Amino acid sequence: MTLWSILRSRFIADERGAALVIVVIFVPVLILVAALAIDSANWFTHHSHLQTQADAAALAAAQDFQFPCTPTVEEQITTDVHHYDGTQTGPGNYNQQVATPSPHGNVEHKVVSLINAANFFGQSTPGDVLPSSPCAARAIDVKVTETNVPWYLQLLNVSHINAQARVSIEALASSGGQLPLGVPNPAPNAVHATFFDETTNSELGGVDLTHSSDHLTWTSSGATPVTFSSASSGDVGVRFALSGTSSTTCGSKYVECYDSGSLNKEGIPTTGVLFIRSWSGDGTPGVPLPPATAPAGPQAQDVTLSPVTCPDGYFASEPSACEVQLSATMAFASGITCTGSSPQASLTLTAVDGSGNSSTPAINCPTSGSATGVWTSTVRLPPNSGPMTFSLSWIQATGTKPAGATGGTNATPSLCTTHKPCEGSFGLVQRTFAGAPDAGSAASSRSGPISSATVIDQSTGGEGNSFRRCSATTGFVFTKCTPSLLITLTVRGFQNEETINPSAAPVALRLTGNQGNQALDCSGNNGASAFTTMLATGCPNPPGPFGTTTGDESICPGSNPVVCVKSNPGEGKKLEPGINARVNCNGITAGCSESICVNPNHWTSPNTVSQILSASPRDPRLVHVFIVDSGSFANRTGTFYVPIRIFATFYITGWKGSPCTTTNTSPPSGLPYRTDDSAATGELLGHFVKYVEPPGEGSGSGEGSCTASETLGDCVAVLTK
């Protein structure tokens, strides 16, 4: 090998300097990768903690959301959002952002939190569309932005880090711990009005009513022609069938019919809630109507009722007695007077209420002095007394004895004189009805939850409670013999109380006797002892939690979640021991004293509903109940399933034997309290409130689906973003 070959081979094999080239090429890449990893980790850490801040802020503020959602509530929501979103420091503030490196240069680093904003701070996204007010939006949306985060190597120069959390107020669809009571919703699913002859019970016409969105107002969509023929007795009633389903057949399950105090064996009312008088105008008083030779007697023609202090003449639902005016258009023989020391004619009005109490209110003859004209009387209507009937009888002390009259002289023809007057009766001439003054008395009322009822004559627009019927005499035809009538009905729903008014009458939930036909079995044990335990501690889980359904009973067996509960008939069930244990003994029935008040009634001013609902720990007087269909327990016996429609919260103010009816010498600190209301056995008094469950204590049925309307239903705060 030559020297050149040796030198050449060594030169080719020499690798000195290659490592330097590799380092020069790859070290910057490694630095970039390291910087990316470090700053990515820094971004991830900041973003994760920022999301924690947003979640914590939204969930903490959700505890404050209650109905009514007032400016005070919104102020507390805002305060708690900023206590937990890391934007504030100091005692009582949490979740400050993780430590950051020293900033490079003069940059401002900060965390900004916005409530119900459309976009993140300083940006044009995400463009959410929702009201800025949490109360109006029924949602608390928190957008947290961290700006100008100091990056370690300034490779990820991201100007903003964003995190968002939203808690929506949804209708409560699944929950547990309810009282084992099925409270029928007074708002029905279907209503039918039937016009019928109260003497024969034959139907004269009927119509299905159309409901408002809340099912509390029901009207006939068109006029119903009702024929008052010559054969009509004059006593025409309007009965109402209120149903929890689509069927409105009286006597069927889920159907309650009114006037319920007059049901026959088929469950059909024989008197109506409304009354329509039909009267005959055949003949002329004092003139014989062939083939009779005696003159026709006086006539009671239109007899109407009008309000004095009652809201309506024909149906009232007032908490105290009110007055109506009866106006009777009378026709006597020509020239007969009703004034002076010896009147030639007089009327006697007899009023009989639903309890059989009779009175004879004074009735005044027309100011003209003529017996022919409008006679008037003011009558007192006791509250919740059912139907009050008005009957008229007459006395005539002059002229020839009318056909069908009693009394008079023995002469031929018989005469009516002062000493031997002629007398007669028109019988029932009109009727009014006193219904339930509030939701608490509806269960004992003959008209149930009906709060108003009217029948309107389409041709005049006025109330149609008195008509002249078709004449039995050939040649007489009156257009009013087939009037077209419109019906309007309102029912008294359970209202969610938004303000505390201690003078307002409470709602009464009733066990309804020993059979307990509104008692439910939600534990699989329908005994009296188990029922007391469920009252004290709430329906257990399992078989709960319970859900709601829009379906019928066919879906009940095996449903998951449990959307139906069984009825719990049987003797021996009592309301009071279990409720006392729940309120005053922390749910423990054994040894619970019924003479010691531990948790008094806070339903009093100056307390607010929001204060009571947000009390911590939760006031044991706040209880959940099952709301079931109207008429769920009507015309049913034995054990059966009851579908759950909604949940509602009830604040208990009293029960029979409550120890809190006496002065509590050392009440718990905090809200003012008042003496409990008294109640009948098996009766729970209180008020429905719109309660919002905290997050995690139930499931919801849709974002923002819980409204501050008067309809029943609990809510739940759900983290939806």
- Asked if residue 240 is part of any domain, the answer here is yes
Report the distance separating Cα 87 and Cα 430, nearest Å.
73
Regarding whether 310 and 228 lie in a shared domain, the answer is yes
| Local structure of 704: helix, strand or coil | coil
Q: Based on DSSP, count helices (H) and strands (E) in the chain, helices before strands.
A: 7, 34
Whole-Å CA distances, 286 to 296, 301, 347, 400, 416: 5, 15, 17, 8, 12
Report the distance separating Cα 178 and Cα 199, nearest Å.
47
Mean pLDDT calculated for residue range 586-593: 90
The pLDDT value given to residue 422? 97
Confidence of residue 229 (pLDDT cuts 50, 70, 90): low
Considering Cα of 700, then 702, then 708, then 712, what sign does the dihedral take?
negative
- Asked if residue 711 is part of any domain, the answer here is no
Regarding whether 482 and 512 lie in a shared domain, the answer is no
Which carries the bigger pLDDT value, residue 443 or residue 377? Answer: 377
The pLDDT value given to residue 555? 82
Picking from 122, 140, 169, the residue at the C-terminal end of a domain is 169
Beta bridge partners of 376: 327, 364
Report the distance separating Cα 696 and Cα 58, nearest Å.
13
Regarding whether 453 and 309 lie in a shared domain, the answer is yes
Regarding whether 504 and 482 lie in a shared domain, the answer is no
- Asked if residue 357 is part of any domain, the answer here is yes
Beta bridge partners of 683: 510
Regarding whether 353 and 265 lie in a shared domain, the answer is yes
The tokens 């040894």 sit on which residue? 591
Structure tokens at 581: 């244990």
| Local structure of 568: helix, strand or coil | coil
Regarding whether 196 and 101 lie in a shared domain, the answer is no
Which carries the bigger pLDDT value, residue 549 or residue 194? Answer: 194
* Residue-wise pLDDT tens digits, 413-434: 999 999 999 999 999 999 999 9
Within 8 A by CB and 6+ apart from 409, the residues are 401, 415, 416, 417, 420
Report the distance separating Cα 686 and Cα 500, nearest Å.
11
Amino acid at 611: Q
Mean pLDDT calculated for residue range 354-366: 95
Cβ atoms of 603 and 548 closer than 8 Å: no
Structure tokens at 669: 């600190």
Beta bridge partners of 195: 205, 238
CA angle 673/675/680 to nearest 5° reads 135
* Residue-wise pLDDT tens digits, 595-644: 888 899 999 999 988 888 888 888 999 999 999 988 888 888 888 898 99
Q: Let me know how long the chain is.
A: 721
Regarding whether 522 and 404 lie in a shared domain, the answer is no
Confidence of residue 476 (pLDDT cuts 50, 70, 90): very low
> For residue 262, is pLDDT > 80?
yes
* Residue-wise pLDDT tens digits, 383-403: 999 999 999 999 999 999 999
Within 8 A by CB and 6+ apart from 437, the residues are 317, 318, 319, 320, 383, 384, 505
| Least confident among 105-119, 142-156, 681-695 | 142-156
Report the distance separating Cα 647 and Cα 565, nearest Å.
13
Which carries the bigger pLDDT value, residue 39 or residue 175? Answer: 175
* Residue-wise pLDDT tens digits, 263-307: 999 999 999 999 999 888 888 999 987 777 899 999 999 999 999
* Residue-wise pLDDT tens digits, 658-672: 998 876 656 566 788
| DSSP annotation of 364 | B
Confidence of residue 315 (pLDDT cuts 50, 70, 90): very high
* Residue-wise pLDDT tens digits, 58-102: 888 888 888 878 888 899 999 998 999 888 888 878 877 776 655
Give phi and psi for 3, each to the nearest 5: -60, -40
> For residue 109, is pLDDT > 70?
no
Confidence of residue 4 (pLDDT cuts 50, 70, 90): low
Report the distance separating Cα 102 and Cα 104, nearest Å.
7
Mean pLDDT calculated for residue range 515-542: 84
Regarding whether 270 and 235 lie in a shared domain, the answer is yes
- The range of the structural domain enclosing residue 155 comes to 31-169
Mean pLDDT calculated for residue range 8-36: 59
Report the distance separating Cα 108 and Cα 329, nearest Å.
90
Report the distance separating Cα 337 and Cα 657, nearest Å.
62
- Asked if residue 322 is part of any domain, the answer here is yes
The pLDDT value given to residue 623? 93
Give the residue from 329, 327, 326 showing the smallest Cα distance to 285.
329
Confidence of residue 498 (pLDDT cuts 50, 70, 90): confident
Which carries the bigger pLDDT value, residue 472 or residue 181? Answer: 181
> For residue 105, is pLDDT > 50?
no
Structure tokens at 630: 């109207």
Cβ atoms of 405 and 422 closer than 8 Å: yes
Mean pLDDT calculated for residue range 114-122: 91
- Asked if residue 235 is part of any domain, the answer here is yes
| DSSP annotation of 620 | T
Report the distance separating Cα 400 and Cα 71, nearest Å.
79
The pLDDT value given to residue 543? 79
Structure tokens at 189: 């699913």
Where residue 54 falls (left for φ over 0; alpha for ψ -120 to 50; beta otherwise) is alpha
The pLDDT value given to residue 108? 60
Average pLDDT, the chain: 85
> For residue 35, is pLDDT > 60?
no
Confidence of residue 174 (pLDDT cuts 50, 70, 90): confident
Total domains in the fold of the chain: 3
The pLDDT value given to residue 290? 78
Give phi and psi for 546, each to the nearest 5: -100, 150
Regarding whether 406 and 506 lie in a shared domain, the answer is no
Regarding whether 461 and 348 lie in a shared domain, the answer is yes
- Asked if residue 196 is part of any domain, the answer here is yes
Picking from 465, 491, 517, the residue at the C-terminal end of a domain is 491
Considering Cα of 5, then 8, then 10, then 13, what sign does the dihedral take?
negative
- Asked if residue 10 is part of any domain, the answer here is no
- Asked if residue 8 is part of any domain, the answer here is no
Confidence of residue 477 (pLDDT cuts 50, 70, 90): very low
Regarding whether 549 and 614 lie in a shared domain, the answer is yes
Cβ atoms of 663 and 669 closer than 8 Å: no
> For residue 107, is pLDDT > 60?
no
Cβ atoms of 123 and 108 closer than 8 Å: no
Confidence of residue 104 (pLDDT cuts 50, 70, 90): very low
The pLDDT value given to residue 102? 56
> For residue 10, is pLDDT > 60?
no
Whole-Å CA distances, 499 to 70, 493, 605: 11, 17, 9
| DSSP annotation of 617 | S
Give the residue from 226, 225, 194, 227 showing the smallest Cα distance to 209.
194
Picking from 169, 198, 229, the residue at the C-terminal end of a domain is 169
| Least confident among 167-171, 397-401, 620-624, 706-710 | 706-710
Which carries the bigger pLDDT value, residue 572 or residue 308? Answer: 308
Regarding whether 317 and 442 lie in a shared domain, the answer is yes
Report the distance separating Cα 180 and Cα 531, nearest Å.
7
